[in-house]
Structure 1
């Protein structure tokens, strides 16, 4: 759900300059001067960081047979989606300034759109998995759960692939510039449909996290009664769990909501600076995801320590999972 990342500008470039990020403007000079947009450089750097971070997560999960539980499969799906999104940002920069063709443009936008769609859907799938693991705690580790996880992944990636194919299959504004959204060559209808879908998924995630908060509070209270904890200990544990969920959901909303709302109401006539300013935070979500969902996980921490140092610190190996670890 990104740009070409070639944002439409309401002000055309000078006649002797062809900007690689303004493909709507026709070439007026046989040997134009190539102007590199600083925003595109920042997006490319963001894509590089995204790729490096998530490549580590993908390699850890892929090379550790013990990390095959549904939770790790979904974290791996999220990391793979963000990895492809980062690669898409890098490839977009290369194609925008070195290989300026309509075909490359459509393929690159399709890759970025499909990758970010898979990333958001993976976040929703992780939320569903966390809810089910708490609500059906006794039967969660069954073959039925594994099958359900694989079904979710098939639909997740299948749907994301279909979304990524839309620009290539003709749902683009290359032939009618008046239908362009803030993300060329996506149409206004395409961008609006993606934005509405995101808002619906966010509402579902919000509802699930509210239910998770209730379950966490109930579990923490039961554990406190069983072990005769003090009321303050129960309060601290519950507050930590709720705070963790608030950080997860708040980070997701802060990264994606500005770009979602902007692409829903704006069109190609709006200044490109607004699109870049709302799009860049959306890419930050793929930078933060490994920290929230992967590197905080105890099993992934152990695997990472083994790869880097050949040993696992006792503080990591002896850490006990609590109700706040959601």
Structure 2
């Protein structure tokens, strides 16, 4: 079997095989080896995409079918779930196209969908962070019409930017004409991937700064309440510590999922072994698996809506539970 007929698995760079080696020639000519070999890493990514799609589809349906969940916070959570849902679908479509519809156009569309959805996911996380900061800093005026308008503006902006990012490959910003410019995510060029990575690092720095400010505000409010009610000092210390710990977990999880791939994409190119790309990209997909748990399923209102959909009732423990400080 000629080397040109080999399957080019997905949009990730494939390790090249030396066709001049006698072992490879005899292997290629062997009729015992199937023509289509599924890469185990692609199976893992497809499985991850399926889990992502199922989780986030539930969140999107809950928010879409409940008119009561129209506050700015829920709109941003819905945006995050929609972005992660598209990312999961993109991973599934990538697997299907890689093995059933092997064309350059399919690769361009697939990588555009995945890039746009993951970009929207990260931008939605930043928007949620901004919203949480404003809800604490402007606590008295947060629930105003101005806040809703600002939320819609953020959503339009982040989805506009993400759409533009997704259109880059199909509009000609790709490395199909010059393989030497390819990044670890083919057909994105090295310069495009580096620009996206640097943008991510800047957004992460902004999120870090905002979460530091949120921690300061929460601790200051708790300290003021404790001074006014001395007998509640211990309780407020515990809740404040839980809130700060939760924020640290949120930011730490985000960094742990995305930093390996971001830093690797800055130093690597298409000549690096594909196993490193898979190993750093997979944790990034896990962030979309964890997001519904952190931002949606822990929310009391979404829990109530989910219980109503599943069994038509709300358990007393859920309906009477006060909103947890860890939801800050």
Provide, for residues 254-290 of structure 1, a one-character-per-residue CA deviation record: whole Å limited to 9, x for no partner. Answer: 0000000000110111111100000000000000000
Q: Distance in 1 between matches of 2:208 and 2:138?
A: 19
Structure 1 gap ranges (5+): 25-31
CA contact (8 A) 1:125 1:152 kept: yes
* Offset, 1:238: 1.3
CA contact (8 A) 1:7 1:184 kept: no
CA contact (8 A) 1:20 1:36 kept: no
* Offset, 1:313: 1.2
CA contact (8 A) 1:8 1:269 kept: no
CA contact (8 A) 2:222 2:236 kept: yes
Structure 2 gap ranges (5+): 11-21
Q: Distance in 1 between matches of 2:85 and 2:54?
A: 8
Q: Distance in 1 between matches of 2:231 and 2:310?
A: 38
Q: Distance in 1 between matches of 2:162 and 2:261?
A: 19
Q: Bigger shift: 305-314 or 162-171?
A: 305-314
Give the SS at the match of 2:36. strand
State the structure with more CA Rg.
2
* Offset, 1:84: 0.3
* Offset, 1:81: 0.2
Q: Bigger shift: 14-23 or 38-47?
A: 14-23
The structure where helix makes up a greater share of residues is: 2
* Offset, 1:2: 29
TM-score (norm 1): 0.90
TM-score (norm 2): 0.89
CA contact (8 A) 2:90 2:114 kept: yes
* Offset, 1:22: 20
Q: Distance in 1 between matches of 2:253 and 2:66?
A: 29
Question: Number of residue pairs matched?
Answer: 316
CA contact (8 A) 2:60 2:82 kept: yes
Which protein has greater RCO, CA pairs closer than 8 Å, 6+ apart?
Answer: 1
2:28 is matched with which residue? Answer: 20
2:284 is matched with which residue? Answer: 282
* Offset, 1:43: 0.2
Q: Distance in 2 between matches of 1:3 and 1:128?
A: 51
**Given the superposition, is the C-alpha separation of residues 311 and 251 from structure 1 closer, same or farther in structure 2, using an over 3 Å criterion?**
same
Q: Bigger shift: 32-41 or 251-260?
A: 32-41
**Given the superposition, is the C-alpha separation of residues 88 and 18 from structure 1 closer, same or farther in structure 2, using an over 3 Å criterion?**
farther
Q: Distance in 2 between matches of 1:190 and 1:54?
A: 28
Q: Distance in 1 between matches of 2:310 and 2:2?
A: 34
Q: Distance in 2 between matches of 1:21 and 1:126?
A: 55
**Given the superposition, is the C-alpha separation of residues 303 and 195 from structure 1 closer, same or farther in structure 2, using an over 3 Å criterion?**
same
Provide, for residues 148-172 of structure 1, a one-character-per-residue CA deviation record: whole Å limited to 9, x for no partner. Answer: 0000000000000000000001111
**Given the superposition, is the C-alpha separation of residues 143 and 164 from structure 1 closer, same or farther in structure 2, using an over 3 Å criterion?**
same
* Offset, 1:21: 20
**Given the superposition, is the C-alpha separation of residues 19 and 308 from structure 1 closer, same or farther in structure 2, using an over 3 Å criterion?**
farther
**Given the superposition, is the C-alpha separation of residues 3 and 39 from structure 1 closer, same or farther in structure 2, using an over 3 Å criterion?**
farther
CA contact (8 A) 1:258 1:278 kept: yes
**Given the superposition, is the C-alpha separation of residues 9 and 100 from structure 1 closer, same or farther in structure 2, using an over 3 Å criterion?**
closer
Coordinate RMSD, CA, aligned: 4.6
Give the SS at the match of 1:181. coil
* Offset, 1:309: 1.5
**Given the superposition, is the C-alpha separation of residues 15 and 166 from structure 1 closer, same or farther in structure 2, using an over 3 Å criterion?**
farther
2:208 pairs with 1:200 = no
CA contact (8 A) 2:227 2:233 kept: no
Query: Aligned runs of 1:297-312 on 2, under 5 Å?
Result: 297-312=299-314
Q: Distance in 1 between matches of 2:246 and 2:55?
A: 21
* Offset, 1:236: 1.1
* Offset, 1:231: 3.5
CA contact (8 A) 2:174 2:189 kept: yes
